[in-house]
A and B are shown apart, each in its own frame.
Chain A
Amino acid sequence: MTSILQVKGLKTTFFTDEGNIPAVDDIDFHLDEGEILGIVGESGCGKSVTSLSIMGLVPNPPGKITDGSITFQEEDLTKASEKRMREIRGNEISMIFQEPMTSLNPLFTIGNQLIEAVKLHEKVSKQKALHRVIEMLKVVGLPRAEEMVNEYPHQLSGGMRQRVMIAMAFICNPKILIADEPTTALDVTIQAQILHQMKELNRKRNTAVMLITHDLGVVAEVCTRVIVMYCGQIIEQADVNTIFQSPKHPYTIGLLQSVPDIREKRSRLFSIKGNVPKPGSIQKGCRFAGRCEQAHDRCFAEDPPLYKGDGQGHQVRCFLHESIEEAHHVEDTITSP
């Protein structure tokens, strides 16, 4: 499978009065065609800033991409002009935000806002655009689409608004969809519907999806590959089955254990001690060391690199798994004559 998006050494820093905060600190990843990549982490881990960096929407000032590259179809988005970015946004890479209440303009009808999205990127008549809008609204499972185009956002429920947002994101047939916590503000029953919808569109249109979420249940349900982030760094990366069946990083293990599972009753939930550190507060060593039960002296002194251990794309940023890396190297030298 070919990668459609390559992120290399991306660093996004926020320059504030309290100092420079590296919200995203040197991350590498790729997004393959037609896959659903989950980016998981708790608040402040940099998952949203990552997506804003790709879209070129980091608020500047105070934020800025200070290093690295984002390659989309052989084009470096960090160097693209604002005009070029506007062509890409919504057309080739589109985004769904968390708050369906605030991401639609309350003063314009649903039809108006969707037609604008079409006409911005393609030279079509208003009639034709409207036709496509209605069709798209039907695709995302909205009933009475013909009437809905004349309605205002406040007339719709949260789930319906999020569907309108999905329709808007998909209307220009983008190659990549970035969904930033698309179901967090919704009820579970509506969440199930929206996730199903996104999966369907991913399958039918082969759109690559980058799903940003804190909910591991959602990840298990829809994603094919997972990146776990902590304090602006990628700490583990693997395909979804590996992450859930044999997680390696102590943080991933803890996170998985602290999710309440509806299938069994535990008298006590496992919990990771301590709090998520403020971004930029840890200068040296592994950023999870302070909360890690297996931390040793080295964890506080040295930054662990991302070990690319087993050759299956499973990467872990933890000294505990250094040995895997070494063992692998040894094997390499033996097998290669």
Chain B
Amino acid sequence: MSKTLLQVHNLKKHFPIYGGILNKKVGEVKAVDGLTFSVKEGETLSLVGESGCGKSTTGRLIMQLIEPTDGSVIFEDQSLTELSKKQVRLTRERMQMIFQDPYASLNPRHSVQKILEEPLIVHGIGSKEERKQRVKEMLEVVGLSSYHAKRYPHQFSGGQRQRIGIARALMTKPKLIIADEPVSALDVSIQAQVLNLLQDLQKKFQLTYIFIAHDLGVVRHISKSVAVMYLGRIVEIADSETLYNGALHPYTKALLSSVPIPDPTIQKESIPLSGDLPDPSKPPQGCAFHSRCEACMDVCKTQKPTLMEVEKDHYVACHLYEEDKQFNDK
């Protein structure tokens, strides 16, 4: 059994809302509200949910790019939330991020050489010659050529840029990669290339991924386990096969049936989910999903369900299964 690389415990991030004449705090958005999960070495955990569910905030919290309101992030037996800023920066050598927009995440004024060697300079790795050599190597690894090092970002297509972004994340030989929607800005044929590349790299370098996505279709091929988020909380977390074959939470079910299936012979008439995501600054009382849930009961309107193990390694936060569980326990 491989060991746990990253542990997140009761992680919270509440953004204050300021308003009024005196600019006082008038409310808060609970972007991430009590997340607990762990990732084992060499595995992929996907965070899935609609926009505004807090999945990107979670990624940034793990990287310590923003300070959590509460909770802890333990990476390689080291609690990141207790470290000083300088120490956190040192740990980033072992955890890197891939961003969504390949057009905005590369500095247009820097050559690829400069973009790729910057992480090495920051962490003081290698001599000038060694760095140059490593840039060349890494370009080949991600499927570009070493002569691309002299070029600038605008000379590349979206897919190639995303490869540069991946190469940059791998420069310092990290263990953990947080990929924030790495393929959602790419064309279908390029998306498949980049997903395959990410999988190859994982095998080659024993990488651990946290894969943030809104597309359940993409996630299935790449993840070991999947966590579904809704308004800052995890509503279901399970092994990816278990989740796709036997989702339990009504939200996960709705999300799965909303994905268009590339087969015209299948006719879907019902709309899986009505309404919009509620305002995150005023989330519904009780279960945050009850306003859109078809199986809503009275208890859902008043009590927040807790995440509990319904089957082995299959956690669900829903009152529907709480009763089952209690019944079984008796």
Contact = CB atoms under 8 A, between A and B. Distances in A.
B260 interface: yes
A275 B273 CA distance: 36
A262 B256 contact: yes
Contacts of A42: 187-190
A221 B268 contact: yes
Interface in A65-102: none
Contact of B214 (A187, A192, A265, A267): A187
B50 A189 contact: yes
B30 to A, nearest CB: 18
A43 B186 CA distance: 9
- How extensive is the interface on chain A, given as a class? 35 or more
Given A218-B260, A220-B262, A265 B244 contact: yes
Interface in B302-324: none
Nearest to A195: B260
Given A157-B276, A255-B189, A266 B221 contact: yes
Contacts, number: 136
Contacts of A272: 189, 192-193
Contact of B51 (A43, A187, A219): A187
Contact of A188 (B191, B192, B258, B266): B258
Nearest to A217: B260
Secondary structure at the B interface, as helix, strand, loop or mixed, is helix
Contact of A260 (B158, B221, B263, B273): B221
B272 interface: yes
Interface string A215-228: 11111110100000
A240 interface: yes
Interface in B52-66: none
B220 A260 contact: yes
Interface in B218-261: 218, 220-221, 240-241, 244, 254-261
Given A187-B50, A265-B244, A275-B160, A256 B262 contact: yes
B264 A240 contact: yes
B246 to A, nearest CB: 14
A88 to B, nearest CB: 31
B216 interface: yes
A276 interface: yes
B215 interface: yes
Contacts of B199: 268
Interface string A151-167: 00000011110000000
A271 interface: yes
Contacts of A240: 264
A270 interface: yes
A125 interface: no
A263 B261 contact: yes
B271 interface: yes
Contacts of A158: 51
Interface in A245-275: 254-256, 258-263, 265-273, 275
Contact of B271 (A192, A217, A218, A261): A192
B277 interface: yes
A138 B32 CA distance: 34
B34 interface: no
B261 A160 contact: no
Nearest to A194: B271
A1 B141 CA distance: 54
Contacts of A193: 271, 273-274
14 contacts: A42-B189, A188-B214, A189-B254, A193-B274, A195-B260, A216-B262, A221-B268, A244-B262, A261-B217, A270-B192, A271-B193, A272-B189, A272-B192, A276-B189
Interface of A: 42-43, 157-160, 187-193, 195-196, 214-221, 223, 240-241, 244, 254-256, 258-263, 265-273, 275-276
Interface of B: 50-51, 157-160, 187-193, 195-196, 199, 214-218, 220-221, 240-241, 244, 254-266, 268, 271-274, 276-277
